[in-house]
Structure 1
């Protein structure tokens, strides 16, 4: 039996949330409220009182228990707000648990965000030694791995440049290279690989496979990419609302996760008002979404225009509203395309407190298969409401080119009209 290196028992993490009555207000509304308050104080001074915000308990983690053996690669999956990042922060000793016990045997390296532990004023070279020292490595050990780290990160030309001048891609390459090459017993990674380009993601995946299988290190890996989790991890834990909903073989856990998502969605038309799997400040809610083609038909094919009708309800009119619709392949976390009202316009500067917004696209030229839809409603840059798996729809095959053939979704997600020609001789 392999040795247990991580044991978590009845782990809980509680936060206290301060809430003000009325939710978020913009500058104009705040000035109006202050003026009214001053007037009331002058007219009725004895009745005035200072408002105190209410405090609400929020359990980001509730009674979480699991074990990880030495050399295992375990995926942590779940929707937004499930508690994945909080769990990794507690395991990395960045934040203290409210209750429960954690036993970790071995040196831990955490890569929870781009450039974790880097000092912006220090150069890449100096940060390599700094991170190594934080991980408990001696200068001799760091020096022996130095060339491998630099070669992997591909930042040789900028090694003596302060990392504050690095791009996000350079940052994540160097951060991952340091964490993976300094040989910690336990490596904790939270979705940072999405920052790099495709070639770098493949390179990191190969390194992580090598770390977990050949070098015997333990890896905890959070990702929304189910294909990457299944390829890398033999085991997985599914978090839901701060609790473990399932754990075991990664294929079985991922299948259960996808089944739970299907139970949340219906084809084409979905009532969203009572859904609990949402994020945002809560001052507005997405209430429903209806999807059909541009002519009002429920059947959507490869050449259809897409018509989306989205309902919403807010506590008050929404200033500077923004609707963002992102469409994904159902079994993949890479977006096919996004519909952003800020880019093309069409949504007024002030939306009434309740209503619907409609978006109609040009022909999509999607390959046949199922797509899922993520919805976001914002006020400027403030997220009011977001539902990651709002609904889904099926795209039926259509002979776009008149050849009698329609490429499958496994080949590509989108198609273009194009022509071939030859110049003989």
Structure 2
């Protein structure tokens, strides 16, 4: 029996563009309007509103059998999260139909379903009631939820004082322990630390072993491979393929295994972000040798970034995670913190050659306030390939590891003996 049937689902949104009569806004005007919107100022009467049609999902169909563990993979903007919101009944499809058999628990973003003024204890009972659980059932699982989330000391603290990590731990613990027939998890688990992620994957395996159904969105392909028996590959709102996890991940990696060294948005309205910050440009600039056309393990690269800030008197810095193609973070770089006001922020960082191994890499970009609060998090901001190069090395097997540093290395024979 199918737990979920998805039939020709499409979801349309309208993007509202504001422009001044007589032509599009320039950068200065866009920044001024952005700041005005933060403080509730009305736009000038001399503006025209234009609506752009955008299809987040387009004619998607697939079935999820009871007990299936489905991974949904694809770039940012592929429609993964929109699909989960449709399945969770958070939003209705524009066309098509979804049939769900069973009670759904969803964890789609930090703090999903929490009431900010209520304590952790009260929110456990509130979420349980929303899921249709009786009070006796919630009490039966209460101690397990608290222990899994690790919030014993803060159980009677209003959740508005919780950190994002505490939000995620409690949200996942509630969703996983109150025995839904269908568990839907978005990339939100990436907020937790490595130990918590391992706990979550272990719990999801326990849930799936009990015959319940899981839909899991993650950029960590290793986690998808480990947990899911089937996968769906999404691209620009359309389903590219559905099938066995290993084959789908292979197809996904082969289709995205391209170099994409620059991403740029001309106006804040077009750019990814929110009412606090928006990304303008991310560019990876290889420092090629004469005659070189592709990045290889010897090539130094410069990473330049630009973003619009709309926050007054903000202490901001940029954090960048360099990830392997399967989603593991290899290392993190953080910029110095600056005192920022509304305007354009720019910067760059240099990566030496003979550092990363050959392979495909992505960069996750986070704009951070006060060295603790993530204002915006852009997954896969840039993707790039590094080719192999051996020079005088005569061994041609795969060089192990994600990094491949070239350090001074001496070796000599100190004396000879007759043999």
Q: TM-score higher than 0.5 here? A: yes
Give the alignment's TM-score, normalised by structure 1.
Answer: 0.73
Unaligned runs of 5+ in 1: 35-48, 313-321, 420-425
Checking the alignment, whether the CA contact within 8 Å between 2:322 and 2:329 is kept in structure 1 is no
1:228 to 223, 228, 247: 223
Work out the CA distance in 2 between the residues paired with 1:202 and 1:93: 28
1:280 aligns with 2:275: no
Aligned residues: 369
Structure 1 pair 111/323, CA: closer, same or farther in 2 (3 Å)?
Answer: closer
Work out the CA distance in 2 between the residues paired with 1:242 and 1:77: 12
Work out the CA distance in 1 between the residues paired with 2:31 and 2:232: 45
Work out the CA distance in 2 between the residues paired with 1:375 and 1:168: 18
Q: Encode CA deviations 1:37-77: one digit per residue, 9 max, x unaligned.
A: xxxxxxxxxxxx94322111100000011100111110011
Give the alignment's TM-score, normalised by structure 2.
Answer: 0.74
Work out the CA distance in 2 between the residues paired with 1:111 and 1:223: 13
Q: Encode CA deviations 1:126-164: one digit per residue, 9 max, x unaligned.
A: 111110000000001111111111111111121111111
Work out the CA distance in 2 between the residues paired with 1:23 and 1:335: 40
Q: SS at 1:15's partner residue?
A: strand
Checking the alignment, whether the CA contact within 8 Å between 2:109 and 2:188 is kept in structure 1 is yes
Partner of 1:370: 359
Checking the alignment, whether the CA contact within 8 Å between 1:265 and 1:390 is kept in structure 2 is yes
Q: Give the superposition deviation at 1:339.
A: 7.2
Work out the CA distance in 2 between the residues paired with 1:309 and 1:249: 37
Q: Encode CA deviations 1:208-251: one digit per residue, 9 max, x unaligned.
A: 011012x1110000000101001000000011110100100011
1:330 to 320, 325, 334: 325
Work out the CA distance in 1 between the residues paired with 2:379 and 2:122: 41
Checking the alignment, whether the CA contact within 8 Å between 1:305 and 1:360 is kept in structure 2 is no
Checking the alignment, whether the CA contact within 8 Å between 1:292 and 1:298 is kept in structure 2 is no
Work out the CA distance in 2 between the residues paired with 1:57 and 1:67: 28
Matches within 5 A, 1:156-175: 156-175=152-171
The answer to which of 284-293 and 135-144 deviates more is 284-293
1:181 aligns with 2:153: no
Work out the CA distance in 2 between the residues paired with 1:134 and 1:284: 37
2:300 to 298, 306, 315: 306
Partner of 1:251: 246
Q: SS at 1:75's partner residue?
A: strand
Partner of 2:350: 360
1:413 to 403, 407, 416: 403
Work out the CA distance in 1 between the residues paired with 2:76 and 2:288: 29
Work out the CA distance in 1 between the residues paired with 2:366 and 2:158: 38
Unaligned runs of 5+ in 2: 37-44, 307-316, 410-419
- Note the aligned Cα RMSD (angstroms): 4.4
Structure 1 pair 311/331, CA: closer, same or farther in 2 (3 Å)?
Answer: same
Checking the alignment, whether the CA contact within 8 Å between 1:212 and 1:218 is kept in structure 2 is yes
1:104 aligns with 2:111: no
Checking the alignment, whether the CA contact within 8 Å between 2:219 and 2:326 is kept in structure 1 is no
